[in-house]
Amino acid sequence: MGTWNSRGLRGEALEEFINISIDKYKEKGLALIQKIPTPIKPVKMDQNTRQITLAYFDQKSTVDYIGVVQGIPICFDAKECQTDTFPLANIHQHQIDFMRDFEKQDGISFIILYFSHKNEFYYLPFRDILYFWERMEKGGRKSFTYDEVDKTYKIGQANGVIVHFLEAINIDLTSRN
């Protein structure tokens, strides 16, 4: 089982960019999205500073963010990749199950994937994630590549929003009709 401090700063910048973006969306009345904290169980605390120095993940989390965009429920996870290959081990079965169930309730599930070495953000619709996942379960690749990501869903910046993913949601919605 992983510990709270074993992951270092991985993904921290990505989540900060997303948090700034969702704050802008809220200010403009476009969306209301919340970061879901990962439940942890503190094991050791520094008595002087009252800071947690060691903790374990208390239970499996679902996704990083959940909210509503113009009346449409959304949930998504933020992932970062430092190469052209994204290991599916970075997505967990309970996350796939949650996103699948969310979609069954007419919500929209996706991943925002940041290819840090290219400084590019992508929106991965759940149907694409599921395709890669099922391919792996059938004995195929345990990863997917940058070239397999649909470039239609590249996320840019706009109007002070660093990770402007609302346009990608709109493309996803249009493709579902």
User: Are the C-beta atoms of residues 5 and 54 closer than 8 Å to each other?
Assistant: yes
Q: Is 57 exposed, middle or buried (0-12, 13-18, 19+ CB in 10 A)?
A: middle
Phi-psi region of 80 (alpha: psi -120 to 50; beta: other; left: phi over 0): beta
Does 62 count as an annotated binding residue?
Answer: yes
Is 105 labeled as ligand-binding? no
Q: Which SS3 state, helix, strand or coil, does residue 96 take? A: helix
Say if residue 152 carries a ligand binding annotation: no
Q: What are phi and psi of 128, to 5 degrees?
A: -70, -40
What is the distance between the alpha carbons of residues 163 and 59, in angstroms, rounded to a whole number?
29
The DSSP code sequence of 39-93 is PEEEEEEETTTTEEEEEEE-S----SEEEEETTEEEEEEEEEESSSEEEGGGS-H
77 annotated as ligand-binding: yes
Q: State phi, psi for 52 to the nearest 5 degrees.
A: -75, 125
Q: Annotated binding site: which residue ranges? A: 62, 64, 77, 95
Q: Annotated binding site for Mg(2+): which residue ranges? A: 62, 64, 77, 95
